Amino acid sequence: MARLPVLLPLPLAGAYDYRVPAGMVPPERGSFVVVPLSGRLMIGVVWDGEADPDLSEKRLRDIQSVLDVPPMTESLRRFVDWVAAYTLSPPGAVLRMAMSAPSALEPPAAKAGWRLSPLGARAKRGEAAARLTEGRRRVLDVMEPGEVYPPGEVATEAGVSPGVVRGMADAGLLESALLPPGQAFPAPDPRRPGPALGEAQAEAATALRAAVAARGFGVTLLTGVTGSGKTEVYLEAVAECVAQGRQALVLLPEIALSTQWLERFEARFGVPPALWHSELGSRRRRDTWRAVAEGKVAVLVGARSALFLPYPQLGLIVVDEEHETAFKQEDGVVYSARDMAVVRARLAGAACALVSATPSLETLVNAESGRYAALHLPTRHGGAALPEVVVIDQRVAPPERGRFLSPALVAAVRETLAAGQQAMLFLNRRGYAPLTLCRACGHRLRCPNCTAWLVEHRLQRRLQCHHCGHAEPIPPACPECGAEGSLTPLGPGVERVQEEAAELFPEARRLVMASDTIPGPLAAAEAARSIAAREVDLIIGTQIVAKGWHFPHLTLVGVVDADLGLAGGDLRAAERTVQLLHQVAGRAGRAEAPGRVLLQSWNPDHPVLQALVANDLDAFMATEAEQRRPGHWPPFGRLAALIISAEDEREADRAARDLGLAAPRAEGVEVLGPAPAPLALLRGRHRRRLLLKARREVMVQPLLRAWLARVPLPASVRVQVDVDPVSFL
Ligand code: ADP
Ligand code: ZN
């Protein structure tokens, strides 16, 4: 009797073996099958490798059925195995990410909806003598003849109760009809002409098109100053891929905020792309997953999880803003979508383009060594000049006491507004104040679950922990000494900058852009529209304003605290600060009027600020590289972190100590720690960290695997493995 290994979407050590029952054609590798597991039925995938011939017949269970879905491609199976091995995750946990729309695997249910009847269609045209209430009229207005609508949708769109719809069916105005199976994804037209490209753009586009046309794996780094037109260039490569009949995937770091990007895509190709992100509704998710598997989606734009969709014909992966930390998934399977995009492309024989104005040092080093091809756009599109960047030395001309905007910045905002242009104040900190202190006893309000201060959010009248989501009302008195009215906010957040701006520039129409005021795509689209329509004079925002926006009338960017992010001693603190501030600065002066950027700093000689002023990021990154190379820090060496956590502090300490004592000893390998994590308490768990640092040529996964296997730990202790850590919290 044939046996096959089946991988289940569960955190198990590997695939389980199942029997192909008599009468069943043995399913091919990659087939989605239904199998029993401890008393219930589950969907799994016929995996590669051989079943264990020694497993007794008695213990084998039968494959129940084979689902009518295209089998998972070999390249995706290899990818699942690869990610699992690289991140030390159970393969089933990775498989689960590739099966994230379970209902897509089931046969599409035939569902009924509503359609206009012939009488209804006549009534809509005003040709039938039916007496129509206001509600019925609205229903007719939203329904097109011949279209079938899901039951709830008609009522919602027309703003009537479901009873109105049922009444219309009884009156013969509507009839029941089957909904078409799943939504269609209109095909982008690759022959539609794009914009006339500038010379450097055209050259880069030709090279990228050629990389796609070669139908093989290769990575290209596309760099260029902000506003140089990199997006138009890689859309040419997308067009090439679509023309070949293959699928293109574009990864964006903040898909929910990318409305301007989506509009540009639609302008270029005539239709919107398919989308993939965590907020997609379940129906849309299911339809998208299935359409991708059936090769009916030509271009998909998504967040990092889109890497795990079952493309049968992948031809191109673009990672836009490749330096963004949002591409790192920090929980569950901890992986870098940028790095895994390269792996996915290699296994699928696809081209990969990494795009950024401020590429990561990792990617730069790969381009310099020739592993990646490199394309560069040296100037802004349409001849717009890069903004002038100036540091305001706060030691010389500080803001007034209790204020955060220095006289020089205030004056610049005034000038800009007086000239009828838009200005932006940037502070990468949500809320009103990052810290609340009792003036009487010095007590600071902190999160009960985390090593973190509570952040005041004045608009919501609450204190919040930005790590675990804990929230509480602002207490009327100090919880420590009981003094009333003694709690004082310390330091600024965007809400406080907005308050100061309201006093200083009362006439300016202000818009705060932070994750709590711009929670999703609709709000982002509305913000972009009102800014473009010049209904806003002053934008006050956190890092979400740095992301790819094109605001043609914005000519001044003021960075309230350019030193923020430099503290903390994180390996990449300087690199990240340069990238973020350069991106923010890049919002200014993108059209005819030249832009200006003012950086408020207490430390104006810092190399990060000097690099921004000189607009010489290449030199800065070269210096960064020289600082990291001798110590074998990434990208010249490898890092892997173990984060040990337990509810009981002593248990966490004991586990960390045991792991520390069992640390691998090998040539070119060093283990740092254990040490309390900077977030020593997170969501009620005590955390300790160990950091393994190795020479580049060392394979860290076998070392880590052996290390973890040497130390038995109680079930209450969790160890998270983070290979190539980005966050050191
Ligand atoms: P980047 O991604 O490099 O920051 P974008 O691709 O966003 O730059 O381009 C900046 C602006 O210039 C956008 O508004 C874009 O539509 C416009 N643009 C870029 N290239 C062209 C072109 N060849 N013709 C017309 N407009 C262009
Ligand atoms: Zn917390």
pLDDT at 593: 86
**Ion ligand 2 contact residues with beta carbon within 5 A:** 447, 449-450, 465, 467-468, 470
Residues with CB under 6 A from ligand 1: 195-198, 201, 224, 226-232, 264, 381, 550
Which protein residue has the closest C-alpha to ligand 1 atom 11? Answer: 227
- As a whole number, mean pLDDT of residues 12-19 equals 94
Q: For residues 372 and 367, what is the distance between their CA atoms, to the nearest angstrom?
A: 5
pLDDT of residue 109 exceeding 70: no
Strand runs (DSSP E) across 648-717, as ranges? 669-682, 685-695
Which protein residue has the closest C-alpha to ligand 1 atom 18? Answer: 229
Domain ranges of the chain: 3-99, 115-178, 199-382, 384-429+492-625, 637-723
* pLDDT tens digits for range 149-188: 877 778 888 889 889 999 999 999 999 888 766 667 889 9
pLDDT at 181: 64
pLDDT of residue 21 exceeding 80: yes
Matching residue, tokens 């859309």: 235
Distance between Cα 106 and ligand 2 center (Å): 40
Which has more pLDDT, 39 or 108? 39
Which protein residue has the closest C-alpha to ligand 1 atom 24? Answer: 195
- Both tokens of 395, joined, read 């030691």
Q: Do domains 199-382 and 384-429+492-625 have the same CATH topology?
A: yes
| φ, ψ (nearest 5 deg) of residue 174 | -120, 150
Strand runs (DSSP E) across 307-418, as ranges? 314-320, 328-329, 335-336, 351-356, 373-377, 388-393
Q: For residues 596 and 430, what is the distance between their CA atoms, to the nearest angstrom?
A: 24
* CATH for the stretch 637-723: 3.30.70.600
Residue 615: Cβ within 10 Å count:
14
Q: Which of 232, 547, 587 to mutate to test the pocket of ligand 1 (most atoms within 8 A of CB)?
A: 232
pLDDT at 590: 86
- Both tokens of 584, joined, read 């923010």
pLDDT at 110: 63
Q: Are 608 and 566 in contact (CB under 8 A)?
A: yes
pLDDT at 83: 98
Distance between Cα 602 and ligand 1 center (Å): 35
Which protein residue has the closest C-alpha to ligand 1 atom 23? Answer: 197
Closest-approaching ligand to the CA atom of 451: 2
Q: Which of 230, 231, 379 to mutate to test the pocket of ligand 1 (most atoms within 8 A of CB)?
A: 231
Counting atoms of ligand 1 from 1, which one is nearest the CA of 552?
A: 14
Which protein residue has the closest C-alpha to ligand 1 atom 21? Answer: 229
- As a whole number, mean pLDDT of residues 418-435 equals 95
Residue 722: Cβ within 10 Å count:
21
Q: For residues 297 and 271, what is the distance between their CA atoms, to the nearest angstrom?
A: 12
Q: For residues 462 and 29, what is the distance between their CA atoms, to the nearest angstrom?
A: 54
Q: For residues 699 and 640, what is the distance between their CA atoms, to the nearest angstrom?
A: 11
* CATH for the stretch 384-429+492-625: 3.40.50.300
* pLDDT tens digits for range 349-374: 999 999 999 999 999 999 999 999 99
Q: For residues 582 and 503, what is the distance between their CA atoms, to the nearest angstrom?
A: 29
Query: Would you list the DSSP string of 525-572?
Result: HHHHHHHHTT--SEEEESGGGGSS---TTEEEEEES-TTTTTTT--TT
pLDDT of residue 266 exceeding 90: yes
Distance between Cα 690 and ligand 2 center (Å): 22
Counting atoms of ligand 1 from 1, which one is nearest the CA of 230?
A: 3
CA distances from 575 to 355, 362, 623 (A): 17, 11, 11
Give the single-character DSSP code of 190: T
**pLDDT band per the 50, 70, 90 thresholds, residue 103:** confident
pLDDT of residue 145 exceeding 90: no
Closest-approaching ligand to the CA atom of 226: 1
- Both tokens of 235, joined, read 């859309």
Q: Are 638 and 700 in contact (CB under 8 A)?
A: yes
Distance between Cα 451 and ligand 2 center (Å): 7
Among residues 46, 685, 91, 681, which one has the least CA distance to residue 333? 91
Which protein residue has the closest C-alpha to ligand 1 atom 20? Answer: 229
CATH 1.20.140.150 fits 3-99, yes or no: no
* pLDDT tens digits for range 210-224: 999 999 999 999 999
Q: For residues 342 and 219, what is the distance between their CA atoms, to the nearest angstrom?
A: 7
Q: At what angle do helices 230-243 and 259-269 cross, to 10 degrees?
A: 50
- Both tokens of 32, joined, read 């989605």
- As a whole number, mean pLDDT of residues 603-631 equals 94
**pLDDT band per the 50, 70, 90 thresholds, residue 75:** very high
- Both tokens of 304, joined, read 């990092």
Distance between Cα 228 and ligand 1 center (Å): 6
Q: Which of 381, 531, 547, 587 to mutate to test the pocket of ligand 1 (most atoms within 8 A of CB)?
A: 381
In the chain, the percentage of residues whose pLDDT exceeds 70 is 98
Q: Are 249 and 306 in contact (CB under 8 A)?
A: yes
pLDDT at 525: 87
Q: For residues 293 and 302, what is the distance between their CA atoms, to the nearest angstrom?
A: 15
Distance between Cα 390 and ligand 1 center (Å): 25
**Consecutive H or E run containing 230:** helix 230-243
Whether this prediction's pTM lies above 0.85 is answered by yes
The partner residues of 437 in beta bridges, in order of sequence, read 444, 488
Counting atoms of ligand 1 from 1, which one is nearest the CA of 586?
A: 4
Q: Are 698 and 671 in contact (CB under 8 A)?
A: no
CATH 3.40.50.300 fits 199-382, yes or no: yes
* pLDDT tens digits for range 225-251: 988 999 999 999 999 999 999 999 999
Closest-approaching ligand to the CA atom of 230: 1
Distance between Cα 672 and ligand 1 center (Å): 46
Closest-approaching ligand to the CA atom of 683: 2
* Dihedral angle of Cα 73, 75, 81, 83, to the nearest 10 degrees: -120
Closest-approaching ligand to the CA atom of 466: 2
- As a whole number, mean pLDDT of residues 413-442 equals 95
* pLDDT tens digits for range 562-597: 999 888 768 899 999 999 999 999 999 888 888 999
Q: For residues 664 and 654, what is the distance between their CA atoms, to the nearest angstrom?
A: 18
Q: For residues 624 and 605, what is the distance between their CA atoms, to the nearest angstrom?
A: 16
**pLDDT band per the 50, 70, 90 thresholds, residue 495:** very high
Distance between Cα 455 and ligand 1 center (Å): 38
CB-based contacts of 245: which residues, under 8 Å, 6+ apart?
313
pLDDT of residue 492 exceeding 70: yes
Distance between Cα 268 and ligand 1 center (Å): 12
| Burial label, 79 (beta-carbon count in 10 A; 0-12, 13-18, 19+) | buried
- Both tokens of 696, joined, read 């580049």
Distance between Cα 229 and ligand 1 center (Å): 4
- Tell me what the pLDDT averaged over the chain comes to: 93
pLDDT of residue 664 exceeding 80: yes
Q: For residues 581 and 583, what is the distance between their CA atoms, to the nearest angstrom?
A: 5
* pLDDT tens digits for range 508-566: 999 999 988 888 888 888 999 999 999 999 999 999 998 878 899 999 999 999 999 88
* pLDDT tens digits for range 619-653: 999 999 999 999 999 999 999 999 999 999 999 99
- Largest Cα separation within the chain, whole Å, is 90
Give the SS3 label for residue 559. Answer: strand
Which protein residue has the closest C-alpha to ligand 1 atom 4? Answer: 227
- As a whole number, mean pLDDT of residues 418-440 equals 95
Distance between Cα 373 and ligand 1 center (Å): 22
Counting atoms of ligand 1 from 1, which one is nearest the CA of 226?
A: 4
Distance between Cα 320 and ligand 1 center (Å): 14
pLDDT of residue 418 exceeding 70: yes
For 393, how many CA atoms within 13 A lie in the half-sphere containing its CB?
6
Which protein residue has the closest C-alpha to ligand 1 atom 15? Answer: 229
